[in-house]
Amino acid sequence: MNFAVLASGHGSNLQAIINAARAGRIKADLKVVISDKKDAYALKRALRAKIPAIYINPHDFSDRESFDRALAGHLRKFKIDFVVLAGYMRLLSRYFIRQYPNKILNIHPSLLPAFKGLHGTKDAFDYGVKVTGPTVHFVIDEVDAGMIVLQEPVRIEAKDTLETLERKIHKAEHRIYPKAIDLFARGKLKIIGRKVAIV
Ligand code: GAR
């Protein structure tokens, strides 16, 4: 199976995925990394790992779907079977999601369905919950609402700041995302209604 990573930012999850794939802990080939941000450090990480890195400029397109048609065109060229979002902060169009039904994974930094949206870690921290943590889920046509694959609880201690909490959540993300990707690639995830069974 071939997969692509879409990333907009720092790319620490991308790095964890690259490392896991190199170590044989993901049985699939990462063929291309694509970003909607020219300066995304994720693109540099891809190039350093000798993985093709592509920047698509959103300003070159009149709307979300035409951007996504260009994106899907690149993925077809690389014969991509499934797509991994790793800090990709651009909403996907219905068109794109239909191209890859139940073949797009995302990671979110809170225990969904709590604290959906762009600031999952800060929103959980500010709310005062005692436990939060990342969620890997399938992408459906509703933001942060897809079927849940893996979650890892992270405790918020009295001494935690937003920064220390972010670090703990990232570490947990780097553990569960490669694992979820490998399960998917090996056909071990079975979607039954809203539930995902590991078979
Ligand atoms: C991750 O914490 C991920 O959960 C979050 O962006 C960060 C990207 O970090 N994604 C979302 O908030 C999606 N709504 P990275 O660029 O270092 O992998």
| Ligand 1 pocket check for 173: Cβ under 6 Å | yes
Residues 87 and 137 in one domain: no
Question: What's the gap between Cα 47 and its chain centre?
Answer: 19
178 C-beta closer than 6 A to ligand 1: no
Q: How many domains does the chain have?
A: 2
Distance 108 CA to ligand 1 centre (A): 6
Q: Is the CB of 135 under 6 A from ligand 1?
A: no
Rounded to the nearest angstrom, the distance between the alpha carbon of 11 and the centre of ligand 1 is: 8
Helix (H, G, I), strand (E, B) or coil at 198: strand
In this structure, the number of other CB atoms found within 10 A of the CB of residue 170 comes to 18
Residue with CA nearest ligand 1 atom 6: 87
For residue 49, the SS3 value is coil
Same domain flag for 92 and 14: yes
For residue 115, the model assigns a pLDDT of 98
Residues 6 and 26 in one domain: yes
Same domain, 120 and 97: no
Positions of the chain with pLDDT under 70 = none
Q: Which residue, 186, 183, 178, is CA-closest to 196? A: 183
Q: Are residues 85 and 116 in the same domain?
A: no
| DSSP code string of 130-195 | SEE--EEEE-BSBTT-SPEEEE--EE--TT--HHHHHHHHHHHHHHHHHHHHHHHHTT-EEEETTE
Identify whether residues 3 and 97 lie together within a single domain.
yes
In whole angstroms, give the CA distance from residue 144 to residue 54.
25
What's the 119 CA to ligand 1 centre distance in angstroms? 9
Boundary of a domain, candidates 57, 74, 101: 101
Check whether residue 94 and residue 136 sit in a common domain. Answer: no
Same domain, 195 and 160: yes
Contacts of 181 (CB under 8 A, 6+ apart): 3, 17, 20, 26, 28, 84, 105
Q: Are strands 2-6 and 82-85 parallel, antiparallel or unpaired?
A: parallel
Percent of the chain with pLDDT over 70: 100
What's the CATH code of the domain at 44? 3.40.50.170
Q: Is 88 helix (H, G, I), strand (E, B) or coil?
A: coil
Q: pLDDT tens, 160-179?
A: 999 999 999 999 999 999 99
Residues 38 and 87 in one domain: yes
Q: Is the CB of 64 under 6 A from ligand 1?
A: no
pTM, to two decimals? 0.98
pLDDT of residue 141: 97
Q: Which residue is closest in CA terms to ligand 1's atom 2?
A: 109
The verdict on the CB of residue 104 being under 6 Å from ligand 1 is no
Tell me, in angstroms, the distance from the centre of ligand 1 to residue 118's CA. 9
Contact between 149 and 138 under an 8 Å Cβ cutoff? The reply is yes
Structure token digits, residue 64:
């979300």
Q: What is the pLDDT of residues 28-65, one digit of tens each?
A: 999 999 999 999 999 999 999 999 999 999 999 999 99
Residue 42 and residue 119 share a domain: no
What residues are annotated to the active site?
Answer: 108
Domain membership of residue 156 as a residue range: 106-199
Last residue in a domain, options 61, 83, 101: 101
Q: Give yes or no: residues 48 and 138 share one domain.
A: no
Q: Of 152, 150, 153, whose CA–CA distance to 183 is shortest? A: 150
